[in-house]
Structure 1
Amino acid sequence: MSNLWDQQQNKIEVYLDDNKEPIAVYSPPARFELDTTTLDDGEHKLTVIAYSEDGKKSVRDVKFIVRNGPGITIQGLKENDIVEGKISLLVNAYGASAKEKWEPTTAETPSPIPSWIWVLFILIVAWSMFYFINQWNPPEEFANTPTYKKPQITEVTKEASQNLTAINGADIYRKSCSSCHQENGQGLTNVFPPLMSDDVVKAKDPTEHIRIVLFGLQGKVINGIKYSTPMPAWADQLSDEEVAAVVNHERTSWGNNAQLVQAKDVRKVRENRK
């Protein structure tokens, strides 16, 4: 009786994977719900067999992948890595679509802060200090005090220039340069070049030193390190006397002992650029 019914009516049988028995039998059209939460993660196959009224059969396979289980992350070992000895691994499993309430913190895998973020942070801090020092103006009642009064620099002899370097040059360096090159002249590795023991700062001919302070610099390789951070130009902010003072401060500080310059040396370099 059952075989007669099968031959006289359309019928759909649904099979899962390699099961011999169908998980459902319907008369078309039919809608049913496939519960994948009972299946293991990985590849599966749904087979649909349809029978016509005259007993002819059609078969269709649909392959699909189940991902109900937790996601897995592994830090410290990648596929095809060549390793030896003991290695430290960080393994995490997080999330699952079948969970009614999902806790986001379970998906967070601890990891160190990338080095480029530290470099960016240092650049932002240095720029902020530079901007604050150069843009901040003291209140009027303090503007003419010895602490905040702008130094008045004129052309002087070598002996006077040494005194100028120790006072005004150091003050200008502190306000305009130390946020990048640091108070100790050692700069920041891979970000801002050092002035201590630098060949340009120690050179007998100060022309290149003056030119860099006046017109800036970027991309120079110093001791095998390329410094991409731009050195700002000070030609529009500092007078010839001020440039001479800060250059002399750099050429006589942190163990440097180079020939001093005068305002006329700065003026010559400035005019040659025009």
Structure 2
Amino acid sequence: MTKDKSKVFLFIDDEPVPIAELDTPIVFDLDTKKIADGEHVLTIVSQSPSGKEGIKKIQFTVANGPSIKVEGLKNKDLVDGTLSLMINAYDKGNQKSFLINGSETPQTIPFWIWIIIILFIGWAVYYEITSYNIQ
């Protein structure tokens, strides 16, 4: 260990053993595939050559598993009766090639789109009727 460089210790969540002990400056690749999906905290403890310490905490969420999309039920909805749910789960692939099959979740058309379509068709019919009366 050189005495003219600061050291950093990287901790995930409340683990007592650091995942890395590094001399600065350094570029570190954090492999999130080795961490469970969910919310985590990366704690970086620095130690200067003079012995002083600093700390920085960074919250992050790991989502390496398949992405899950649900239509028909939202978080904390108040529901009654039978619900029709559309559920899709798809993987991100290996990040070196794009995975098309199953990567898009089909969605229903929002009601405001239907209103715009109906208004447009109504206007078109009205325009056609009034344009024939003028001639």
Shift in Å at residue 103 of structure 1?
Answer: 1.3
Shift in Å at residue 26 of structure 1?
Answer: 1.4
Corresponding residue to 2:99 among 91, 99, 102: 102
5+ residue gaps, structure 1, are 135-174, 177-236, 239-274
Corresponding residue to 1:53 among 40, 43, 49: 49
Corresponding residue to 1:30 among 26, 32, 43: 26
Matched, 1:40 2:36: yes
SS of equivalent residue, structure 2 residue 103: helix
User: 1:15·1:48 contact (CA, 8 Å) conserved in 2?
Assistant: yes
Q: CA RMSD in A?
A: 3.3
Could you say which residue in structure 2 is the equivalent of 1:120? 119
Change (3 A) 1:98 1:65: farther
Distance 1:29 1:107 in 2: 41
Amino acid corresponding to residue 81 of structure 1 in structure 2: L
Change (3 A) 1:72 1:55: same
Could you say which residue in structure 2 is the equivalent of 1:73? 69
Could you say which residue in structure 2 is the equivalent of 1:83? 80
Higher helix share: 1
Distance 2:110 2:57 in 1: 48
User: 1:69·1:97 contact (CA, 8 Å) conserved in 2?
Assistant: no
Q: Please, what TM-score do these two structures have when normalized by structure 2?
A: 0.69
Structure with greater Cα Rg: 1
User: 1:41·1:67 contact (CA, 8 Å) conserved in 2?
Assistant: yes
Aligned residues: 131
Change (3 A) 1:94 1:68: same
Amino acid corresponding to residue 111 of structure 1 in structure 2: T
Higher strand share: 2
Change (3 A) 1:22 1:74: same
Q: Please, what TM-score do these two structures have when normalized by structure 1?
A: 0.39
- Percentage identity across aligned positions? 29
Shift in Å at residue 123 of structure 1?
Answer: 2.4
SS of equivalent residue, structure 2 residue 99: coil
Change (3 A) 1:103 1:38: farther
Taking the TM superposition and a 5 Å limit, the aligned residue runs for 1:127-142 are: 127=126, 129-130=128-129, 134=131
SS of equivalent residue, structure 2 residue 129: helix
User: 2:67·2:89 contact (CA, 8 Å) conserved in 1?
Assistant: yes
